[in-house]
Amino acid sequence: MITISDLIEWKNKKKFAVLTAYDSTFSKLFFQKGIKVMLVGDSLGMTIQGHNSTIPVTIKDMEYHTKCVRRGAPKCLLLSDLPFMSYFNKEQAYINASILMRAGANIIKLEGGKNISEIIYNLTIRSIPVCAHIGLTPQSINLLGKYKVQGRKKKEEEQILSDALSIESSGAKLLVLECVPINLAKKITNILKIPVIGIGSGSFTDGQILVMQDFLGISGKNTPSFSKSFLKKNYDISSAVTSYIKEVENCIFPSKKESFL
């Protein structure tokens, strides 16, 4: 069984690869081929349900897919997203986080920085491990206007760094950094004691995560520029997973082409 202690031990010693998963078939295959950490992401709103954002995803959706993934990979470290407006106050966060934990999640992922520090703290002291998600936060798409790099401006960089420190001090066990410049991701990874998982944030983070459909190259026009199709140059999905792990561990992926300066 992979635990958060393993990830903490790997920090600054061994890069690790993460994939999203939404069903038992893929989670079983991913684990067998070496993916020990998976995320049931609210990205399922776009990849599975066909919506144009993650906003419509409900806690029932997340509970269902978390159960499916857990059945396929009973020994993986499983993260699961709390969807849009399911943690707008502490009490709601307790209820919905417990639903996902009972469904099989080991860690609950929330989007936000200082604004959710109190929720992170209160979940943590109630034995619910938290992974925070900052930088580009898809649940905020209606405020952001479009999916774009965060932290290029000095003020934005300072805010993201401040959020990262606040998140760690509140008790979060992991941090996901999405779509921030390489140097900012490197700075945050070096400063924090908790593992940092990057997506579109360069190769200096402790781990990397890709959405399964992007990894397979089947997202079509929705494929983000920071992604890479590992199935394209491999004969089957198993070989693609092995290739992905090797490239992450050897800092080949993401390259500068799949990162932001």
Peptide bond preceding 224 in cis form (omega within 30 of 0): no
Q: Which residues pair with 175 in a beta bridge?
A: 132, 196
Q: Which of 111, 168, 178, 247 is catalytic?
A: 178
Question: What is the chain's mean pLDDT, rounded?
Answer: 96
The reported pLDDT for the residue numbered 147 is 75
Q: CB atoms < 10 A from the CB of 155, how many?
A: 8
Rg (CA), the chain: 17
The reported pLDDT for the residue numbered 222 is 79
Side chain identity, residue 41? G
Span 93-148, pLDDT tens digits: 999 999 999 999 999 999 999 999 999 999 999 999 999 999 999 998 787 777 78
Span 42-97, pLDDT tens digits: 999 999 999 999 999 999 999 999 999 999 999 999 999 999 999 999 999 999 99
With contact defined as beta carbons under 8 Å apart, do 63 and 100 qualify? Answer: yes
The reported pLDDT for the residue numbered 148 is 84
With contact defined as beta carbons under 8 Å apart, do 16 and 37 qualify? Answer: yes
178 belongs to the catalytic site: yes
Span 151-201, pLDDT tens digits: 999 999 999 999 999 999 999 999 999 999 999 999 999 999 999 999 999
Closest-CA residue to 35 (of 23, 14, 15, 19): 19
Torsion of Cα atoms, 183 then 184 then 190 then 193, to 10°:
-160
Question: Hey, what domains does the chain have and what are their CATH numbers?
Answer: 4-258 (3.20.20.60)
Whether the predicted pLDDT of 252 surpasses 80: yes
The reported pLDDT for the residue numbered 197 is 98
